[in-house]
């Protein structure tokens, strides 16, 4: 197996990370690994629920036991077991995670950005257990994500898609426009 290459996808909740990750995965035929799925899997494994408070407890517990990079380590274990040289990671949230992955692989970061109003609307329509039930929950989740350092990850992204007024097809076209530039970027690392 050659040098591992990771396309890390970041953005605030509801910006379209999972939507674009699934599209890229299907378009390029490469696996996607979700850091949020790793947390949800651990939450179930440890007997916690899938609600946001249970997931927060699990993240805190994992970080206390395994350090700030633990979710990245667990994700990398899954990637290595897959045997794929090029992968997508959906949901990078901190510089500690970025630094961990960059020690292990060639990595480029794609950030998705959307206004709070747009993201809140998208989350309200998504229907996942941990989606905010009201504006206060949404704002609290944003605050927690920013405390983790997601703003720094977005700020250092190599590529950005602004998902403010885009239809699904337009979002996909934005990636298609960047695809060759992103793949070329790996050769420069």
Let me know: does 33 contact 89? Beta carbons within 8 Å: yes
Mean pLDDT of the chain: 92
pLDDT digits (tens, 9 = 90+) for 100-111: 999 999 999 999
pLDDT digits (tens, 9 = 90+) for 56-98: 888 889 889 998 899 999 999 999 999 999 999 999 999 999 9
Let me know: does 178 contact 110? Beta carbons within 8 Å: yes
Among the residue ranges 3-12, 52-61, 166-175, the one predicted with the least confidence is 52-61
What is the residue extent of each domain of the chain?
A: 5-183
> Which pLDDT does position 127 carry in this prediction?
75
Intra-chain end-to-end CA distance of the chain, in Å: 18
Query: Region 36-44: what's the mean pLDDT?
Result: 90
CATH superfamily of 5-183: P-loop containing nucleotide triphosphate hydrolases (3.40.50.300)
* Pairing mode of beta strands 159-162, 106-113: parallel
State the DSSP string of 27-41: HHT--EEEHHHHHHH
């Amino acid at each position: 197996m050659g040098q591992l290459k990771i396309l890390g996808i970041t953005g605030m909740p509801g910006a379209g990370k999972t939507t674009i990750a699934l599209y890229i995965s299907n378009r390029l035929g490469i696996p996607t690994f979700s850091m949020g799925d790793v947390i949800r899997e651990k939450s179930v494994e440890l007997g916690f629920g899938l609600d946001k408070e249970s997931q927060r407890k699990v993240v805190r517990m994992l970080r206390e036991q395994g350090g700030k990079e633990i979710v990245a380590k667990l994700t990398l274990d899954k990637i290595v077991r897959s045997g794929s040289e090029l992968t997508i990671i959906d949901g990078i949230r901190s510089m500690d995670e970025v630094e961990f992955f960059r020690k292990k692989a060639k990595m480029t970061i794609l950030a998705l950005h959307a206004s709070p109003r747009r993201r809140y609307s998208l989350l309200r329509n998504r229907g996942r257990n941990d989606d905010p039930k009201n504006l206060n929950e949404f704002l609290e989740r944003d605050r927690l994500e920013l405390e983790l350092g997601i703003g720094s990850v977005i700020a250092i992204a190599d590529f950005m898609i602004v998902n403010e007024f885009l239809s699904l097809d337009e979002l996909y076209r934005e990636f298609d426009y960047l695809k060759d530039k992103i793949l070329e970027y790996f050769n420069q690392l």
